[in-house]
Amino acid sequence: MDRAKVRALAEERLDWRFKAVPAAGWGRTVAEYLATGPTLDDLGTPLVTLDAGALEHNLATMAAWCAKAGVGLAPHGKTTMAPALWQRQLDAGALAITLANLPQLHVARAFGLRRIHLANTLLDPAGLRWLAAELAADPELRFASWVDSVRSVELMAEALRGAPAPVAVCVELGAPGARTGCRTPAEAQAVARAVHAAPELRLAGVSGYEGAVAHDATPASLAAVAGYLDAMAELHRLLLAEGLFETEEVWLTAGGSAYFDTVVERLAPLGDHRTTVVLRSGAYLAHDDGFYRGISPLARPGADATPFRSALHGWARVVSRPEPGLALLDGGKRDFSFDEGFPEPQLVRGRGRLAGGRITALNDQHAFLRQAEVRVGEVVRLGLSHPCTVFDRWTLIPVLDSAEAELPRVVDLVRTYF
């Protein structure tokens, strides 16, 4: 990435556009505001914060795990859409950043990102022409996207006709009833042959997403994931034997943040001097107190690494106690994730851990906290589930030295671009 552009984020001037920043910070740059030594108590509610120690722990834990497993990592940048965090992942050894759509590619290139894996099929003609121009202007740019049909190959080739260089693509294997991707290895093999025949494209690997075939860690789900990955391995062998790969380095890539251990078990043996097995986990960096806490491979019995730690927390103030057993907090759907479970009440600022209590509903701007001993005006810390739907609600996220400290200090502000 262009480090100068990442560093320049510290010079952005704060104002009313950033809902995490109090009025006292308006008019200052990020660097100037941090120099004032703000603390959590200087910030308003509702609020989402990151924990510096947990971020560093998760970053180092995943990098070490991948190194030990002998696989690469191209973390999914869509989770955070935060170039400063992408830079940290690259500095920790990531091979590339994975993205999901054209607007995200625009952000990446604005910050000079040069190794991009698009876990999607790019068919927009204007977007493909823009990509071709980017590749022509920057010889160091390495890019690959996905294809899952002969028709998508034809459309890409048509849009790229006359481009100075071919675009690398991976053929995507899916599964019946799941998301995108060819439904059988034989179908994917036909798509790979179409790529091989198109001078505008070159076949760079096999891709897939095992998280589309399961959503928990039951034996049946783990078996379904293993079977899907075995089909990916079969496809890779077929294409390799037929000589269809056209790049010096071939990627065999899968792996979200839920089943990356099974990906390594099933695919890592195929890595060699030409084939690199690459995980695309993204949520591991922030982790959570919900879905990923319950399904992460490092939280399962017998895991060979320290579990990830949740770096994400919500903070909301009690604004009403309208009836016994019910408190209303000033944060809701516009502030916190809720697609993989409601926020988890954890502690009350100044009083410690919260005994009991649960969030039973969220409105746009309110959370319904029941059966908790809290008073109007108190601030409750909330554990959040599914980081992918937290970051997109906040354009600037304060980073605390420790969310467990008596008075957490704000040590950074992370800028997101959604």
268 in a structural domain: yes
Q: Is 347 contained in some domain?
A: yes
pLDDT of 221:
95
Residue 355 has what pLDDT? 85
Same domain, 118 and 265: yes
Question: Can you read off the two tokens belonging to residue 20?
Answer: 């995490």
3-state secondary structure at position 397: strand
Q: Is residue 409 part of a domain?
A: yes
Report how far Cα 63 is from the mean position of its chain's Cα atoms.
15
Rounded to 5 degrees, φ, ψ at 383 are -80, 140
Q: Are residues 400 and 385 located together in one domain of the fold?
A: yes
Does 111 share its domain with 159?
A: yes
Which secondary-structure segment (H or E) carries 31? helix 30-35
Q: Which residues contact 379 (CB under 8 A, 6 or more apart)?
A: 45, 315, 316, 317, 318, 348, 349
User: Which of residues 285, 317, 335 is at a domain's end?
Assistant: 285
Instruction: Convert the pLDDT of each residue in 214-260 to its tens digit.
Output: 989 999 999 999 999 999 999 999 999 999 999 999 999 998 999 99
pLDDT attached to residue 304: 80
Q: Residue 335, by phi and psi: left (phi above 0), alpha (psi -120 to 50) or beta? A: alpha
How far apart are alpha carbons 302 and 289 in whole angstroms?
A: 20
Does pLDDT of 303 surpass 90? no
Separation between Cα atoms, residue 246 and residue 243, nearest integer Å: 8
User: Is residue 230 in some structural domain?
Assistant: yes
Choosing from 219, 250, 285, the residue where a domain stops is 285
Q: Are 163 and 148 members of one domain?
A: yes
DSSP assignment, residue 382? E
CB atoms within 10 A of CB 151: 12
- 333: Cα within 13 Å, side-chain hemisphere: 6
With a CB cutoff of 8 Å and minimum separation 6, the contacts of 383 are 288, 289, 290, 310, 312, 313, 314, 343, 344, 346
Residues 229 and 93 in one domain: yes
Same domain? 157 vs 122: yes
Q: Which pLDDT belongs to residue 55? A: 98
Question: CA separation (Å) from 8 to 12, 28, 148, 415?
Answer: 7, 14, 39, 11
Judge residue 293's burial from the number of C-beta atoms within 10 Å of its C-beta, 0-12 exposed, 13-18 middle, 19 or more buried. Answer: middle
In this predicted model, what pLDDT tens digit does every residue of 313-356 receive, in sequence order?
Answer: 999 999 999 999 999 999 999 999 999 999 999 999 999 999 88
Identify the CATH number of the domain in which residue 8 sits: 2.40.37.20
Tell me the average pLDDT across 60-73.
Answer: 97
Single pTM value for the model: 0.96
Based on the domain organization, do 104 and 223 belong to the same domain?
yes
Please, where are the H alpha helices in 164-278? 185-197, 219-242, 260-267
**Does residue 86 contact residue 77 with C-beta atoms inside 8 Å?**
yes
- Quick one: 35 and 107 in the same domain? no
Residues 325 and 347: their CA atoms lie apart, in Å, by 17
Number of domains the chain is built from: 2
Q: Which residues pair with 315 in a beta bridge?
A: 47, 381
Model confidence at 386, in pLDDT bands (50, 70, 90)? very high
Could you tell me if 161 and 176 lie in one domain?
yes
Alpha-carbon distance of 81 to 394, in angstroms, equals 11
Say whether 21 sits in a helix, a strand or coil.
coil
Looking at residue 305, what is its pLDDT? 83
What are 109-146's pLDDT values in tens digits? 999 999 999 999 999 999 999 999 999 999 999 999 99
| pLDDT tens string 150-194 | 999 999 999 999 999 999 999 999 999 999 999 999 999 999 999
The mean predicted confidence, pLDDT, of the chain is 97
Asked if the structure places residue 136 within a domain, the reply is yes
Residue 199 backbone phi and psi in degrees, to 5: -65, -20
CATH of the domain at 194: 3.20.20.10
Domain identity same for 36 and 87: no
Do residues 240 and 125 both lie within one domain? yes
Q: Note whether residue 163 is domain-resident.
A: yes
Residues spanned by the domain of 112: 56-285
Please state, as a whole number, how many other Cβ atoms lie within 10 Å of the Cβ of residue 360: 12
Q: Is 292 part of a structural domain of the chain?
A: no
- In this structure, the answer to whether residues 159 and 260 fall within a common structural domain is yes
Report yes or no on 298 lying in a domain: no
Q: Looking at 285, 317, 334, which one is the last position of a domain?
A: 285
